[in-house]
Structure 1
Amino acid sequence: MYKILIADDEFWVTALVRNSIDWTGMNLELAGEAEDGGEAYEKILRLRPDIVITDIRMPGLSGIELMEKVRLTDLKVEFIILSGYDSFAYAQAAMKYNAVSFVLKPLEEEELRQALQSAVERISSQQIIRQTASQAQSRQEEMRMEFLLRTVRSGDEENYALSLEGINQKYDCHFRDGHFFVMITHMERIPKPVLLQQITDASLRLLRDCAYDSYALQDGRRLILMINTAFTPSEDYTRLAKELFRCQGSLCRPAGIQLTAALGPVSNSWPLLHQSYEVAFCLLRNRLNDGWGRLYIWSKPKSGHDNPHNRLSVRRELQLTTLMETFETEELEQNLNDITDQMLQISGKSSDLFSMLEQISKLYCHTAAQMCIGSQIGLLTAREYLERMEECDTIQQMKRSMRELFVLPLRAYYQEHARDETNISAQMKRYVSRHYQENIRLIDVANQLYRTPSYIGYIFKRDTGTSFSEYVAAYRINMAKTYLTDTQQTIAGVAEAVGFGDMRHFSKTFQKLVGMTPSAYRKKSGR
């Protein structure tokens, strides 16, 4: 219902208006009455009516003065002017302030009813216009935020192909040639909507005076600030990041929410914005070791060399693959924990740990695909595995996450299919991993499984696409590669260690599968 206020210093006029209209039938509600302009203005502010029926001449404020004063506020009020004077000047003044109707006294019920109907139609029309404009603005905002988030997260070349002018026109931005960078704040948990809005508004207010343009993008528990500025000294960016972090922290602390933030590198190129995001994102990983409450500021590395220890060794890759293929989940979990601990002990950087985890995720996906069990274990992509682990805030959470992502699905699959013939291949692989240094015969494996050699040979070939003897040879050669890389044993010693009794047979098999001799492989590996 639309609310009505009647303002007239003549009691009989007010009574006539009050009693001549079927308010409910017209979807109207009589909210109040006033005897003079001053009282009418006070009630307009308090009651916030949609329509005011006012006399043009009243004590205090006239109807025209009342309209003029209300128009200075943000209130949306439609006015119907009543007058006992058929004056063009009065009508012209009423139209100046966009009155709906100018109704002469004595009042006629039908004329007043039509004036009210016109006011209702105007309100409805304006509401539709405002709603349409609001929806259009909301959609524009949504499109802009989607574009900006996609730009920083994916580094999509198509997004960076647009000029700044093109971006400004298409997404209603205000970017200018200058410097671009990203600051990411990672929150212990997502704040309530009101608090999140306060954090966002406070951050953007701080940026308003020093930035050409800035945006706050929410991505899960992360608040991403995309900033375009003019200043260049690095001290200015550091000072700004500290001020933003201090402001965000002051809002989050009363709610018991801890923060960690990172400032990415600053560049004068829009296409390098994604790089600033990636670096800041990687810096945030250090919270696993350092805990909450730190602000990381990117600085140029002293050395351009990668950490040689953040790569999975050939031995580790083979070990993890074998443990997956043989469903030895307890040992797989222990290995994953050992890799995590060793990586942190050697490097001390959580960012290096994530580089290792990315390799593990890719290896896990590849091995599961080779085993043809992806759909049964709910296999994700390597990127999705990494994103799940990015949500961890401590090393213990990380280990639990790896157990849930990598270990438990394999364990559940094996327990469900423990007696199926499809697991014969896994048991045969397990036998090889434990006895590869010995003389392995298919009949010995068959005896272990209480099956015939021909039957298990057929099952293995069906499941893996390769014969058992070929698999044994390939496994031994892969083990030989780890010996050649990680030890200083002689070639003959390596051949014996991996189960080849004949040096010539070993060299021939190695060259066939690897494409080079054992000595050439060792030389290539830096030994």
Structure 2
Amino acid sequence: MDKHKILIVDDEAIFRKGLRKMIESSGGPWEVAGEAVDGYEALERLEALRPDVMITDIRMPRMDGIQLQQIVKERFPELLVIVLSGYDEFTYVQHSLRHGVKDYLMKPVEREELFRTLSELEKELSRAEAGKSATADSAPGSDPEIRKHVSEHLITGLLRGYVSEKELELLSKIGVQFNDPRFACLIIKLDKDMMDRDRYRKADPSLFQLYIQQIVQEILNQRTNGFCFVFSDSEVVALVNLKEGEAAAQSLSDISETIRIRMISLSNLTVTIAQGTIVDGIRDIPRSFNEAKIALLYRLLLGGDQVLTYEQTAMAQTIPAEVKPWSWDDLESSIHDGRQEETERRVVTVVTDLCEQSKNPETIQQQISKLLIYYYDLAEKLQVTKLWLQGKSMQNVLFDICSITSRSELVDACRVLLGRLARSVEEGRKQQDSDPVDKALRYVSRHFREAITLKEVADQVYLNPAYFSTLFKQRTGKTFVEYWTDLRIEEAKKQLSYSNEKIAVIAEQTGFGNIRHFNRVFKNVTGSTPNDYREQARSVRQD
């Protein structure tokens, strides 16, 4: 059988080489007929080689992928085009779809995604050869699979903070409506360890994920706006759109519990549902998503077949009572400041004290897991998680730690792990030193307990206060005062949950001038008084 010819267009030689190897390893009827470094060279190769498929990057020198597509559409109407893009280039992908592009691939390209796309192209080429293909003038992007792919891409971008409000217009055009102002993320994970082993082993695991996705989407369609999709080989993610008002929290809770109960009643499958907090607007969707990921980690400690909310699990991140408070405070300070050697010394003290004073191994495992999840949350906020974990998932790290039975090995493993976190914080800081907003955020995170001003922070990054204020709001979605207030309230919530300090003392330690001001701001932000919040936190821990 004759092979279908592919032309690869990308200005990076290493990427062209890697893509060629993946295509050649696919086992399909494909031949990489040639390569080009930009649009001009691609046009020459297209004339000479007459390939069936062109895979092109969007951003290239001289002639970019968009300009190339415009010319190709006129001169080579039967050519199937796939574009390569990053999350920050989705506007270009929209233009590509309008020019009749068949699909797109995210960079770096995943082998499975490439093979899936090639399989679809092979079917289309076969139909064309049999005279059954659709006309060349059919509406670009009208295929259900492409609409689904675009939707998933956009929602993933929202979860990770790469997509702006402008892209929501495209979601609306392809049938995904977000009409309400509030959002929350759910991660639904199959409790496969609670299933009959034969049932799981005999079935295709991906079918379980698709089944969960369908059930969740059906419930969302009945209750509210929302979009659900298979996020990984073990997780389904839902972005829930909620109305404004106090009823939103109850609505989200009801949706989560309905999902859990319906999975059991319909299929005798149990799932764990991790729920991020409800946020206002799309800018804070990544925060809700990250919180859901952190809540899901608590399945290791609390078990499956339940709804885990970030608010509850955050309160459960109790500072080990057996460890001296100063040890914890100094450890957190050394990690946040990126001091590796000091961090390693502090870790040895904290973990040794915990091992000596805990009554059983389960307590040690739980407290170490809570400590690591706490710092995972910090690493996410500082955007150093990949650097820290070096490709491993936090779930695997926790499994490895909990499998250690030797005290000396446990101390050493925690020392290395958290020492590497401190080093990652320092390296991340060096990489970001050229960004004034990143520098400002680090300065505020270190001094938020003090009476800092916008001018003071602007001076630290050598910017005019008015310009800095505008830049800060554009990047963070919050004013300087809102951001500073949120940091102080988060610290106050920790102290209310974990300590017996008087509320007046906590108000002073978190930078509020007096307790009346603290009480007013705390209630405005959280909806509870400091005293009510403390009682709720203690009741959760007791449960």
Same fold (TM over 0.5): no
Between structure 1 and structure 2, the one with the greater Rg is 1
With the length of structure 1 as denominator, give the TM-score of the two structures.
Answer: 0.36
With the length of structure 2 as denominator, give the TM-score of the two structures.
Answer: 0.35
